[in-house]
Chain A
Amino acid sequence: MKLAEESFLTDDFLRQLINVGEVDILVGLPTHNNAKTIGSIVHTIQSGLLRGFPRERSVIVNVDGGSRDGTPELVTGVSIDDVRPSSNPYALRTLHSISTRYASSPASGIALRTILAAAELLRAKACVMLSPESANIEPEWLSKLLRPIYDDGFDLVTPTYRRHKFEGLLITNLLYPMIRAFYGLRIREAYSPEFGFSGHLGSQFLGQNVWNDGTEGSGVELRFTLAAITGRYLICQSFLGEKDHIERSAADLVPVLRQTVGTLFTALEADFPVWSAVAGSQPPPTTGADHEVLLEPLRVNRKRLREMFSTGVAELESVFQSILSSSTLTELQRIARLGEEEFHYPAELWVRTVYEFAASYRKSVISRDHIVQALAPLFRGRVCTFLLENRNASADQVEDNIEALCLEFERLKPYLLQLWKSGE
């Protein structure tokens, strides 16, 4: 046992871990006020473990961020007997459920750190992180995320989902293309609350200096994926099925940008030796489809998006002058004046915008948090164009458009390299 990990785990949690002993499979379940759904999720997990890993020693580790609705008690109180008869009555191994409260408010970084420390102490071979907010977790998800690790020696399994063509637009318009261009691996969901990992990768990441940067581990799941790529661990994808939509309010975009884009821009700084040497990209091994697109009609207020873009470009001119080149800013100001139908934020301009933001972030031309916030109205403009381009598009056409954007990110990569070097 490492003292470093012990120091932030409570005595009670350590006692629980000692009682569990060694395990083969660990299921990490971070929670915060999930009493309504947690019971069925734990049943699903138990069912998945009994079906997929009946003879393995397993534990569900719940780390709670200060729930006031009794979520931890519900996790530890769910009896495995409810699911045992219907799945495998002859399971020989016991399944433990333990719980700890790490803080009075949720912080995904601390939750993951606690789970990684628990996995290391329990010498878990294969681990999986699940989110209680994913309402449609299926028992099969456990096998899909754990089998490649447990049987095939992979270190990280990221999910792929069936999504509506207009969902996950930050992923399709920025995270996926940029990670693909810079890290050379076409990982669809680099930032996901569900993923599987080996105990070895977990231990390595636990020892990295990412936990004490004052961000409480914001966006740590993305850092985890990027660390696996740069550490040359074996990575694959597994198709899980439909991802249930989580409702988000307008206020959610900026925190999400902080967690994802801020984390990615920070990682680019440390990973410069890696990404500057990467050319092209390769798809990772994938079980099942690497994407599936739903096409149901969805009513979206494009006008409002365009207005927020135009307002942002006009009002934030002084901020953009510090971040963007004059040619990019002039072009943005031109398209901000276009009407709703002729509005078009081209892929090339979007990529240049993102790259100039990344370079300015690295140079800290203004507060880094302000740089990330300033991207929000521009992202809305890009979303508006994406919606226009794909409003009548088939699944293949949507994929073609995303692929074209990815290639644009790859094509213009030397531009960021040039900006990067000019700041040295």
Chain B
Amino acid sequence: MREMIISELSQAVHEMARGFAHFLPRLVVTLILAFGGWVIAYVVKAVLRSILRLIKFDKLSENAGASQLLTNAALPSATEMLSRFVFWVTWLGFILLGVHVLGILGLQEQIARFFLFLPRLFVAMFILFVGLLAASFFSRAALLAAVNANVPSPRVLSLALRTIIIVFVLSIVFEELGLAEQTMLVAFGIAFGALMLGLAIAFGMGGRDLAKRFLEKRFVRGKKAENEDELSPL
């Protein structure tokens, strides 16, 4: 009995030692991958930061309105944010690769999913950036056009347009990420419908005077002497 226990114990110790001997090289590989990944991620971050500074990415993001969002949230500049993001994605990729080498069952499938998810994440980020750029451009265009046409409340108009574009972009981003697709679709439908209904009611209730003034200005002659644009700029 005693011998059996000793034999089992020694076998278990042997197996553990053999298992550890098998595991140790993998652990070393994992650590090497993690360390090497950190170095590579750091280099990638430094190179990307230089490129972004060279192409004045901060200026671009300022135009897109992204810088303002980051400043309001007490976050670093867009260049710094993107560099850090790429650093963490790269390093995390290497760490997950290392974990994959460890051969822990169940984790491998998750890791594979993560790598499959990465391209979608990048596409979503790209869509978000371009969407913010478009929202900023079109809302500013609307603001300028409304101010120069002397339309009342130009900022409200501009903000409404910006909101519509951002909501639309967010719904695309979430769809791309595969997150809460149905919820976002319904939320977008409700928000858009509510906005259109609101605009229709606002136009019907409050736009009568505006429409009257517009039509008078367009078709009734005789008040032109009071218009400064009687003065030809050229």
Interface residues of A (CB under 8 A from B): 166-171, 191, 245-254, 256-257, 260, 298-302, 304-305, 308, 311-312, 315-316, 319, 322, 365-367, 370, 373-374, 376-377, 379-380, 383
Contacting A370 at CB < 8 Å: which of B62, B144, B230, B231? B144
Q: How far is the CB of A374 from chain B (nearest CB, A)?
A: 6
Contact A311 B234 (CB under 8 A): no
A to B contact number (C-beta, < 8 Å): 92
Contact B232 A246 (CB under 8 A): yes
Interface locus among B18-26, B27-35, B149-157? B149-157
B3 within 8 A of A: no
Given A315-B154, A370-B140, A377–B147 Cβ distance below 8 Å?
Answer: yes
Q: How far is the CB of A261 from chain B (nearest CB, A)?
A: 10
| B140: chain A residues within 8 A (beta carbon) | 319, 366-367, 370
Interface residues of B in 120-153 (CB under 8 A from A): 137, 140-141, 143-150
Contacting A168 at CB < 8 Å: which of B148, B154, B232? B232
| A256: chain B residues within 8 A (beta carbon) | 233-234
Q: How far is the CB of A200 from chain B (nearest CB, A)?
A: 28
| B209: chain A residues within 8 A (beta carbon) | none
| A377: chain B residues within 8 A (beta carbon) | 147-148
Contact B149 A250 (CB under 8 A): yes
| A370: chain B residues within 8 A (beta carbon) | 140-141, 144
| B109: chain A residues within 8 A (beta carbon) | none
Contact B147 A167 (CB under 8 A): no
8 CB < 8 A contacts A-B:
A248-B232, A316-B144, A322-B62, A366-B140, A373-B148, A376-B147, A377-B147, A383-B231
Contact B63 A301 (CB under 8 A): no
Cα distance A256–B227 in the bound complex, in angstroms: 17
| B233: chain A residues within 8 A (beta carbon) | 168-171, 248, 252-253, 256-257, 379
Given A316-B143, A370-B141, A167–B150 Cβ distance below 8 Å?
Answer: no
Closest 9 pairs (CB-CB, A-B): A170-B233, A373-B144, A301-B226, A250-B229, A299-B225, A305-B228, A376-B148, A256-B233, A315-B154
| B147: chain A residues within 8 A (beta carbon) | 308, 311-312, 315-316, 376-377
Cα distance A377–B149 in the bound complex, in angstroms: 10
Contacting A171 at CB < 8 Å: which of B143, B225, B234? B234
| B234: chain A residues within 8 A (beta carbon) | 168, 170-171, 191, 256, 260
Q: How far is the CB of B115 from chain A (nearest CB, A)?
A: 39
Q: How far is the CB of A399 from chain B (nearest CB, A)?
A: 18
Cα distance A97–B62 in the bound complex, in angstroms: 55
Contact A167 B155 (CB under 8 A): no
Cα distance A376–B143 in the bound complex, in angstroms: 13
| B229: chain A residues within 8 A (beta carbon) | 248-250, 252-253
Given A250-B149, A252-B233, A301–B137 Cβ distance below 8 Å?
Answer: no
Contact B143 A383 (CB under 8 A): no
Question: What 1/0 mask marks residues of chain B from 44 to 64 whose CB sits below 8 Å from any chain A CB?
Answer: 000000000000000100110
The tally of residues in B whose CB lies under 8 Å from a CB in A reads 26
Question: What 1/0 mask marks residues of chain B from 210 to 234 whose CB sits below 8 Å from any chain A CB?
Answer: 0000000000000001111111111
Q: How far is the CB of B218 from chain A (nearest CB, A)?
A: 10
Cα distance A311–B155 in the bound complex, in angstroms: 11
Contact A315 B150 (CB under 8 A): no
Q: How far is the CB of A357 from chain B (nearest CB, A)?
A: 13
| B143: chain A residues within 8 A (beta carbon) | 315-316, 319
Nearest-neighbor residue (CB-CB) of A164 within chain B: B231
Contacting A167 at CB < 8 Å: which of B59, B145, B154, B231? B231
Known: A311-B150, A319-B143. 15 other contacts (CB 8 A): A168-B232, A169-B233, A245-B232, A246-B232, A248-B232, A253-B148, A257-B233, A299-B226, A305-B228, A308-B150, A366-B63, A366-B140, A367-B137, A374-B144, A376-B147
Interface residues of B in 145-203 (CB under 8 A from A): 145-150, 154-155
Contact B144 A250 (CB under 8 A): no
| A312: chain B residues within 8 A (beta carbon) | 147-148
| B231: chain A residues within 8 A (beta carbon) | 166-167, 169, 298, 300, 383
| B148: chain A residues within 8 A (beta carbon) | 253-254, 312, 373, 376-377
Nearest-neighbor residue (CB-CB) of A363 within chain B: B59
Contacting B230 at CB < 8 Å: which of A260, A300, A308, A322? A300
Q: How far is the CB of B1 from chain A (nearest CB, A)?
A: 86
| A373: chain B residues within 8 A (beta carbon) | 144-145, 148
Contacting B227 at CB < 8 Å: which of A250, A257, A374, A376? A250
Cα distance A377–B151 in the bound complex, in angstroms: 13
Cα distance A250–B147 in the bound complex, in angstroms: 12
Most chain A CB within a 10 A radius of its CB, from B145, B150, B231: B231
Cα distance A245–B230 in the bound complex, in angstroms: 9
Q: How far is the CB of A249 from chain B (nearest CB, A)?
A: 6
Cα distance A283–B63 in the bound complex, in angstroms: 42
Interface residues of B in 87-102 (CB under 8 A from A): none
Cα distance A304–B150 in the bound complex, in angstroms: 10
| B63: chain A residues within 8 A (beta carbon) | 365-366
Most chain B CB within a 10 A radius of its CB, from A251, A299, A301: A301
Cα distance A299–B230 in the bound complex, in angstroms: 9
Contact A315 B155 (CB under 8 A): yes
| B230: chain A residues within 8 A (beta carbon) | 247, 298, 300
Nearest-neighbor residue (CB-CB) of A380 within chain B: B228
| A316: chain B residues within 8 A (beta carbon) | 143-144, 147
| B144: chain A residues within 8 A (beta carbon) | 316, 319, 370, 373-374
